[in-house]
């Protein structure tokens, strides 16, 4: 095969491809949709991992619930389990809603309205989650102390008090980073939608 022959093969290939129109209008729009979904896939992966961790922790607390022997430990345990089960479900649900926005169905205006509604919900859940994370931090600490260290930290608070500011600082940093990621991703998804105008 020399250069001329290569040219012939290419021309024949081009001729064959000219008769192979396989893309439909719907498929082309679907490609844009796929890019939209991709914006959220990384966040979804982290959230799914986080949800699994929360569920496992809730399971551990439930399995060892009988070790919580005072009224405040029982209340803290019950609240912690409820929170650890409810928040991940709410987050994944709001993420699912925004990720599965039907871009190709309905008008551009409808899509944008649905997107902004879903984004508002997603960011609200995030903000609520951040707020409750600080409360759960304080509430779950006695439960975790009892389950993992067999100590009632309410009675020996001095040994534990130093953990709280350290964990708060870490949580502030993680929460800020996480919320910034969410905002970034939703802005970028909005940009994709505006390109569909």
The contact set with other proteins (CB under 8 A) reads 1-3, 5-7, 9-10, 12-14, 16-18, 20-23, 25, 27-35, 37-38, 41-42, 45, 195-196
CA distance 162 to 140: 16
Any idea which residue has 């608070």 for tokens? Answer: 157
Report the nearest approach of other proteins to the CB of residue 174 (Å).
Answer: 23
Q: Quick one: DSSP state of residue 107?
A: -
Identify which of residues 3 and 71 has a Cβ nearer to other proteins in the complex.
3
Q: Quick one: DSSP state of residue 104?
A: S
Report the nearest approach of other proteins to the CB of residue 184 (Å).
Answer: 17
Helix (H) or strand (E) holding 101, with range, is none
- DSSP three-state, residue 1: coil
Cβ count within 10 A of residue 159 = 11
Q: How many residues does the chain have?
A: 197
Identify which of residues 99 and 126 has a Cβ nearer to other proteins in the complex.
99
Report the nearest approach of other proteins to the CB of residue 182 (Å).
Answer: 17
Identify which of residues 98 and 143 has a Cβ nearer to other proteins in the complex.
98
Identify which of residues 13 and 124 has a Cβ nearer to other proteins in the complex.
13
Report the nearest approach of other proteins to the CB of residue 56 (Å).
Answer: 24
Q: Return the half-sphere exposure (C-beta side, CA atoms, 13 A cut-off) of residue 77.
A: 22
């Amino acid at each position: 095969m020399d250069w001329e022959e290569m040219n012939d093969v290419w021309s024949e290939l081009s001729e064959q491809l000219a008769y192979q129109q396989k893309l439909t209008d719907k498929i082309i729009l679907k490609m844009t949709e796929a890019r939209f979904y991709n914006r959220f896939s990384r966040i979804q992966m982290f959230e799914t991992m986080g949800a699994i961790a929360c569920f496992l922790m809730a399971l551990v607390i439930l399995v060892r619930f009988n070790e919580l022997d005072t009224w405040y430990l029982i209340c803290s345990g019950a609240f912690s389990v409820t929170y650890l089960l409810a928040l991940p479900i709410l987050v994944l649900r709001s993420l699912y809603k925004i990720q599965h926005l039907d871009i190709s169905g309905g008008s551009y205006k409808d899509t944008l309205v649905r997107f902004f509604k879903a984004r508002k919900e997603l960011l609200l859940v995030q903000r609520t989650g951040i707020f409750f994370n600080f409360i759960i931090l304080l509430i779950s600490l006695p439960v975790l102390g009892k389950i993992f260290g067999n100590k009632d930290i309410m009675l020996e608070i001095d040994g534990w008090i130093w953990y709280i500011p350290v964990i708060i600082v870490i949580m502030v940093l993680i929460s800020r980073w996480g919320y910034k990621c969410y905002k970034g991703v939703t802005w970028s998804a909005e940009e994709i939608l505006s390109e569909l105008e």
